[in-house]
Amino acid sequence: MTAKRFCRLTLGGIFLCLLLIIATVAVIDPFEIYHRALFYIPSFRSEIQSYSNAGVAKSFDYDSVIVGSSVTENCIPSVYEEALGGRFVKLCMNAGTAMDHARMLEMAFRTHRVRRVVYGVDVFAYPVYWTNQKMETPNYLYDASLLNDVQYWFNEDVIFKEIPYALTHLGKMNEQGIRDWMYVWNPPERPTPESLQVTVKDPVPGQEPSRMELIEMNIEHNLIPFFEAHPDTEFDLFFPPYSLSYWRDQMNRGQFEADMECRNRIIEAVTGYANVHLYDFALLREWITDYSHYYDYRHYTSEINDAIAFAIRENRMRITSAEQGKQNTDELRRLVMDKSVP
């Protein structure tokens, strides 16, 4: 064999191997970037949400989305469909910033006609610089170009971890089950209610730095543009029902008033839009004072997630004006400081 022929055969073999890898990734498509999973259950782990969400946003059939942090991961789309109609998917990002949630909304609106958005608004997601994200987004999965998908085709984790996972779950496809149970954590054991109670200490004056400029930038760049660009979409925003102990812990840390400042600014910004409904479950006393609903100060059970869907349908705890919202904030402050409430 001549050296020239050997080089041709070697290069041809390498080229065929590369094509085989590309074809394998494209056909199995563990992150569902090109098509829905055809014959297996894909992996939906919290640590790879920025990857999995790209495929959910691109390839799933839906007209409504649930966006938020880990407290929305236990939302069950079929329950929200029963309460609110439509076809839901979750595009959650645990511990996500406002920018993370905006990226999910951008993808949903770019690829689908979205009739409804249910958005859990966490005050901790806004006092950061408006381009900050929890983790770097794999932009090559979020755009429409194939040219940069080489980073997907030859990704070591995709080839040696995600594809083997898919192949071990052959024949287990379950459309409704996948949409309902992706990202759900909802562990069976909970701490005792007494272990979650927090006593408010005397607040330390001057301990809370103002974060208003950061909050304003996030509202301006990562929230309001969606309301204005999509006037026919209904946005149901809600303040999650963290336990009363969460707010007392924030008070003890010297962060409570800054959180209330964030609440009030978001309320002022969104209550003027006809296509936006804002709900204040942070003040729903029957939930936030019953620690049997909680796994820690902030995370509540899936029963609360289900109840939120029907509360939205019933317009329960809705804020209709900035003034009412400020009154709610004042009421939450009084409740936190009321030592007669355990």
pLDDT for residue 289 is more than 70: yes
| Residue 94 in tokens | 């645990």
Q: What pairing do the DSSP bridges indicate for beta strands 64-67 and 88-90?
A: parallel
Which of 21-30, 117-126, 139-148, 290-299 bottoms out in mean pLDDT, i.e. has the lowest?
Answer: 139-148
**Alpha helices per DSSP H over 29-149:** 49-59, 77-84, 98-111, 139-142
pLDDT for residue 209 is more than 70: no
Task: Please report the pLDDT score of residue 205 as a whole number.
Answer: 58
Spatial CB neighbours of 12, under 8 Å, sequence gap ≥ 6: none
Helix axes 244-253, 256-270, angle to 10 degrees: 120
| Residue 321 in tokens | 């004006």
Query: Average pLDDT of 82-108?
Result: 96
**What's the angle, vertex CA 196, arms to CA 118 and CA 300, rounded to 5?**
20
Write the pLDDT tens digit of every residue in 219-244: 999 999 999 999 999 999 999 999 99
Sign of CA dihedral 49, 54, 59, 61: positive
CB-based contact 77:114 (threshold 8 Å): no
CB atoms within 10 A of CB 70: 20
**Alpha helices per DSSP H over 60-190:** 77-84, 98-111, 139-142, 150-153, 156-157, 163-167, 175-181
Q: Whose CA is closest to 289, among 252, 333, 335, 331? A: 335
Write the pLDDT tens digit of every residue in 130-180: 998 887 789 999 988 888 999 999 999 999 999 999 888 887 766 677 889
Task: Please report the pLDDT score of residue 203 as a whole number.
Answer: 60
Write the pLDDT tens digit of every residue in 311-322: 999 999 999 999
Task: Give me the numbers of helices (H) and strands (E) for the chain, helices first please.
Answer: 16, 6
Write the pLDDT tens digit of every residue in 1-19: 677 777 877 788 888 999 9
- Higher-confidence residue of 317 and 37: namely 317
Most confident of 15-24, 116-125, 136-145: 116-125
Q: Whose CA is closest to 223, among 215, 8, 244? A: 215
Q: Which helix (H) or strand (E) holds 276?
A: strand 276-280
Q: Whose CA is closest to 287, among 244, 333, 225? A: 244
- Per the prediction, the chain carries an average pLDDT of 91
pLDDT band at 96 (very low <50, low <70, confident <90, very high): very high
pLDDT band at 20 (very low <50, low <70, confident <90, very high): very high
Q: Residue for token digits 């938020």? A: 68
- The CATH architecture one would assign to domain 46-156+174-337 is 3-Layer(aba) Sandwich (3.40)
Task: Please report the pLDDT score of residue 204 as a whole number.
Answer: 58
Residues β-bridged to residue 71:
none
Which of 105-114, 201-210, 262-271 bottoms out in mean pLDDT, i.e. has the lowest?
Answer: 201-210
Query: What strand order describes the sheet that includes 318-319?
Result: 88-90, 64-67, 116-120, 234-239, 276-280, 318-319
| Residue 261 in tokens | 């400042």
Q: Residue for token digits 């019953």? A: 290
pLDDT for residue 206 is more than 60: no
Where b means 16+ CB within 10 Å and e means fewer, 33-52 reads beebbeebbbbbebebbbbb
| Residue 292 in tokens | 């049997």
Residues of the chain with pLDDT > 90: what percent?
71
Global pTM?
0.92
pLDDT for residue 64 is more than 90: yes
Q: Whose CA is closest to 117, among 35, 178, 57, 48? A: 57
Most confident of 12-21, 195-204, 284-293: 284-293
